[in-house]
Amino acid sequence: MPHGAGEPADTTPPDPLRIRSGTRGPCLVVAAEGELTILTADLLREHVLADMRALTGPPLVVLDVGEVSFCDSSGLNALIVLWKAAHRADGELVLARPERRFRTIIERSGLDRHLIAHPSADEAVEALTRR
């Protein structure tokens, strides 16, 4: 519906990244949906770091990126920070369900050597549980 003269336009942007998290066995499973960009990378990083601090024992984190539609360099940086934080605490962070475009970004950046990807969150949880 067009705005008439003098009517304020709704300038509220849609939520570009939604984050849900929970635990499955010893693992923290975080699902991200939307765009992982300079505008949202801090949100993901702080959300996951807070959840990791709440865990008992080494953080075993599954980051489900199957619904991430876009990732820029700030998003990649957030993933690196989270991976490093998990490793510093003697834990692990893995990806679940990366779409082809997301996998390509990870591979081209060379991060695929560190950010292990699994086809599903269930397979990622199983791999971390066997760790």
pLDDT the model gives residue 5: 54
Q: pTM value?
A: 0.86
- Say if 112 falls within a structural domain: yes
- What is the total count of domains within the chain? 1
Q: How confident is the model at residue 7 (pLDDT cuts 50, 70, 90)?
A: low
What is the tens place of the pLDDT at every residue in 34-68? 999 999 999 999 999 999 999 999 999 999 999 99
- Say if 2 falls within a structural domain: no
What is the token pair recorded at 81? 């920070």
Q: Decide: 29 and 121 in contact? Cβ < 8 Å.
A: yes
Q: What share of the chain is helix, strand, coil (3-state, %, to 5)?
A: 40, 30, 30
Distance CA 11, CA 15 (A): 12
- Say if 1 falls within a structural domain: no
- Say if 96 falls within a structural domain: yes
Whether residue 89 is predicted with pLDDT greater than 70 in this model: the reply is yes
What is the tens place of the pLDDT at every residue in 24-35? 999 999 999 999
Residue 6: phi and psi, rounded to 5, are: 85, -10
Whether residue 100 is predicted with pLDDT greater than 60 in this model: the reply is yes
Whether residue 112 is predicted with pLDDT greater than 50 in this model: the reply is yes
Q: How confident is the model at residue 9 (pLDDT cuts 50, 70, 90)?
A: low
- Say if 26 falls within a structural domain: yes
Nearest alpha carbon to residue 70 among 29, 13, 107, 17: 17
Determine the structural domain holding residue 43 and report its residue range. 18-130
Question: Rounded to 5 degrees, what angle do the CA atoms 41, 107, 37 make?
Answer: 15
- CATH value at residue 83: 3.30.750.24
